[in-house]
Amino acid sequence: YQDFYRRSGALAKRLGKDFGIAKGDRVAVFAHNEPETFFLFFAPQRLGAILVPVNFRFTAREVDHVLEDSGARLLFFGQNLEATVLKLKRPPVCLKMEGPGGLREMVQAMPEGSPDPMAAEPEDSVMILYTSGTTGAPKGALINHRMLFWNSVNTGLRLNITADDKTLIFHPLFHTSGWNVLSTPFFHHGASIVMLKKFDPCRVLELCGEERLTILFGVPTMMERMSRAENFNRADLSSLRFSIVGGEPMAVPLIETWGTHGVPVRQGFGLTEFGPGVFSLEAADGIRKAGSIGFPNFYVETRVLNHSGTEARVNEVGELLLRGPVCTPGYWNDAAATAAAIRDGWFHTGDLVRVDEEGFFYVVGRKKEVFISGGENIYPAEIESYLGTLPGIREVAVVGVKDERWGEVGKCFYATKENEPVGEEALRAFCEEGLARYKIPKFFTQLADLPKGPSGKIQRRALIV
């Protein structure tokens, strides 16, 4: 960590002296996971500048939008992405991650002298994370020092993080899952990080034993792929204190599969703009409260408002509102989006939840995912959670499609486990056993795999054609 500190400080001096980077400037990085990106995270902070990670899956048009919207003065890019960079219309100063004069060479140069004093304040932004943009172009969520500090406090208290912990980061570093679920809290606690360029189920399992990892983080689709890996049953998982899972609920059979290998599963919930360490479900409640995201973490206030704008009753569905020091100050250059999301100090998530008699929270769906069939609100997450308990089902998603009679009806997309076929008749019969008739999807379509985004979550928009 001392060497990390000195090299980050030296890089900050270089950015300021050679490229004129100063407080408030934006520095973009367009690359796969590289250790140097962590140095680039800390160096601009010392100058009061802001890091802008760019999705390495973006086309030149999409990268142009992020660079133009953020006003980045400098872009570091991976050599394998050079073809995309060459297509940019109005690129800033561009430098490679690798090669002569690149970021790796800058980081490896021997630091001289002490780092300059920090120019940033607690409310200054550290990075701009561009979210998916379900209604148009991606929006830049501002992440400041205050958010990172309190998220680390929350995460450390909930997961009992110490300097002896070690984790593996394979989530992309343009996403909050790569940065703020474990990476920044681990840095704050002096813990250890092992990095992979991308998710590889077999290699992750190997590293659990080779590196003696203590905490493993993945979304359910990743955990499921690891459980199907050819080396899962012989993998050494003995050092893992637990696995944490987010993004969507993890099915009970999969929780049990990892449990039989001695790995408790703790589920959670968060957002790019808030947290992301917002809710946590203890491993002991994982099966008893299947589908729950647990309780709010420390220093997080919650409200659940029903459709009339009043406090929801027990088990009544309503929108989740959040307040606390881990809330974004807003969206970069988008006052309208900021005003729509943050009202009277409360962040309106757009997530629909219910709270049971014991105070456990359950995500029912997104406001935009709910569809109405014959006058009834249909919550896809409820149906998906139920179908996920059917043996043989590996992943499932339900979307609303137009229907002349009912307005909208459900369409179910699913994938099965290897050598465990599940036909439409079996699915429909299972639905009839546990769902009201109006909730049962009208259509069932089997796929080899459901489409997923960079964080591993199922992309519903790709299913609606």
Residue type, 341: A
Q: Which CATH class is domain 371-462?
A: alpha beta
Instruction: Give Cβ neighbours of residue 341 (< 8 Å, ≥ 6 apart).
Output: 273, 330, 331, 347, 348
Domain assignments of the chain as residue spans, ordered by start: 2-120, 147-366, 371-462
Same fold, 2-120 and 147-366: yes
**Over the chain, what is the mean pLDDT?**
93
CATH code given to domain 147-366: 3.40.50.12780
Q: Which CATH number fits domain 2-120: 3.10.129.10, 3.40.50.10860, 3.40.50.980, 3.10.450.710?
A: 3.40.50.980
User: d(Cα 387, Cα 197) in Å, to the nearest integer?
Assistant: 33
pLDDT tens-place string over residues 87-142: 999 999 999 999 999 999 999 998 888 899 999 999 999 999 998 654 457 899 99
Give the residue carrying structure tokens 């970069």. Answer: 332
CA distances from 352 to 321, 342, 364 (A): 10, 17, 5
Structure pTM?
0.84
Percent of the chain beyond pLDDT 90? 80
pLDDT tens-place string over residues 144-197: 999 999 999 999 999 999 999 999 999 999 999 999 999 999 999 999 999 999
Each residue's pLDDT tens digit in the chain (465 positions)? 999 999 999 999 999 999 999 999 999 999 999 999 999 999 999 999 999 999 998 889 889 999 999 999 999 999 999 999 999 999 999 999 999 999 999 999 988 888 999 999 999 999 999 986 544 578 999 999 999 999 999 999 999 999 999 999 999 999 999 999 999 999 999 999 999 999 999 999 999 999 999 999 998 889 999 999 999 999 999 999 999 999 878 888 999 999 999 999 999 999 999 999 999 999 999 999 988 999 999 999 999 999 899 999 999 999 999 999 999 999 999 999 999 999 999 999 989 999 999 999 998 877 778 888 887 778 888 899 889 999 999 999 999 998 888 888 999 999 999 889 999 999 999 999 988 888 999 999 999 999 988 777 888 888 876
Burial class, 107, CB count within 10 angstroms (exposed 0-12 / middle 13-18 / buried 19+) = buried
User: d(Cα 213, Cα 167) in Å, to the nearest integer?
Assistant: 5
